[in-house]
Amino acid sequence: MRVAARLIEGDPQHLGDYRLAGRLGEGCRGVVYEAYDPGGRRVALKVLKGDPELWAGLAREAAAAGRAAPFCTAAVLDAGHAGPRPYVVSEYVEGPSLRRAGRIFAGGDLLGLATAIATALTALHGAGVVHGDLTPDNVLLGPGGPRVIDFGLARTPAMSLTSGRLGAGAPAYAAPESFTGEGTGAPADVFAWGAIVLYAATGEDPFAAPTLDAVMRRILQAGPDLSPLPGTLRDLAAAALARDPRARPTARELLTTLVAGESRAEPPVRGAEPPVGCVEEVTPGAARGDHGSPGAAPVAADPLLVTGGDVAARLRTACDDPGLGTLAEDAYAALDPAERELVREVFLRFVVLPAGGGLVTRGVRAPRAGIETRVVEAFGCLVVRRGGEVALAHPALPYAWPRLREWIEADRHRLMARGGRVRPALLALIILVVSALAIAVAVFGVAVFGVAA
């Protein structure tokens, strides 16, 4: 079962309207958190590293990525660019990354994976977006098929063609032009597609080497061994990995050949037209295996993307990746009736509603024995012990667990009164300090005026 690691010191507990639940991973470009919006929807929130000025165009880039047709991608939902922690919010995809899956792909599964990534790139490039950081870590194997993620680092062509920095992607999947200063664009994504397909068939990074210089030499001078790939995919990968970006097929040309079936042995013809067919009306998200957003208007779907999405959806990956709300509800259901009666009061002790608004979680004295102890222990990884206190391990739990949200709303007035009070221990300390100061002032006054007299 995949569960996000707990937040560590220095991690924010909330950003914008989102409550952070735990860490999903960290890379050189940022930290990815499991988070929840005020309605309890589970999302992936990436906090970007580096100089905030480098992300000045974040909102524009996120808007461009959001215009991509919803096929084999994780939708970009929001972006926050004000303040010292710029972040991108995207749809949460259950399932491991291609790298973490630890499996070798062959036959129909390999074709489905290659088609899914080509479909995602076709959708992105059609919206004028270059991914720019496509690696096996940015392909998730979800229950509805493979999905390309991490559009928080997506770049528009205007930025991509002028950057040309190695830091734009993982070196082993960077196109030759990334190292020569020519600038990178959509062809660099196609190069990464070829390298990822070969990785999926072998389990090894195709240009791996001990040093960065060695990686660069392999990419610039020596092509990888493509013999593990079957006929059509071998030809497509060879074309995609061409050193000259102008010689590579487009993502759309890749997809056109892939959906035509493995019977074609030739690389795609430059400028190939998509299959002829009627434009289909679909709801955003339908091709990703979900139901789209409530009330979402149908969009005119490219028939090539529809076909690619259908092929990709056949590659389904079973995963055990429950959200916090599911974990909490399962623990609650496993209790006996007497224990359930106590859950509400035990969990409401963790919550404070300050007078200024918002919601704060806190630690409370740990029960020493009896039924309350069994209740706390039943929630396992959701509650953590710290010395003589227990606290919620994930501050987002009140957002993620609908039952707890209902309890908080029903008891809002009492929780707000609790939030407005000064704790008795703190009040006693304040009285003690004030009294000591008063005595010190009195003593000092007597000494001064006594001497003067």
List CB contacts of 123: < 8 A, sequence separation 6 or more: 68, 69, 70, 71, 72, 73, 305
Q: What is the helix (H) or strand (E) element at residue 400, kind and residue range? A: helix 397-400
Q: What's the rounded Cα separation, in Å, for the pair 146 and 127?
A: 20
Euclidean distance between CA atoms 240 and 125, whole angstroms: 15
What's 130's DSSP letter?
Answer: B
Give the span between the Cα atoms of 310 and 391, in whole angstroms: 45
Answer whether 130's CB lies under 8 Å from 158's CB: no
Residue 133 catalytic?
Answer: yes
Q: Which amino acid is at 51?
A: D
**What is the Cβ-side half-sphere exposure of residue 426, based on CA atoms within 13 angstroms?**
3
- Beta carbons of 106 and 283 less than 8 angstroms apart: no
Cα 67 to chain center, whole Å? 19
Cα-Cα-Cα-Cα dihedral sign, residues 381, 387, 388, 393: negative
Measured N-to-C along each axis, helices 251-259 and 107-126 cross at an angle, to the nearest 10 degrees, of: 140
Q: Hey, which residues does 301 pair with through a beta bridge?
A: 280
> Is-contact 328 404, C-beta < 8 A?
yes
User: DSSP of 272-327, one letter per residue?
Assistant: PPPPP-PPEEE-TTGGGTS--STTPPPEEE-HHHHHHHHHHHT---------HHHH
* Helix axes of 107-126 and 231-240: crossing angle, nearest 10 degrees: 40
Query: Is 97 in a helix, a strand, or coil?
Result: strand
Half-sphere exposure of 25 (CA within 13 A, CB side): 12
Contact between 120 and 73 under an 8 Å Cβ cutoff? The reply is yes
37, 133, 205, 321: which is the annotated catalytic residue? Answer: 133
**Nearest CA-CA partner of 136 in 210, 192, 218:** 192
- Where in the sequence numbering do the catalytic residues fall? 133
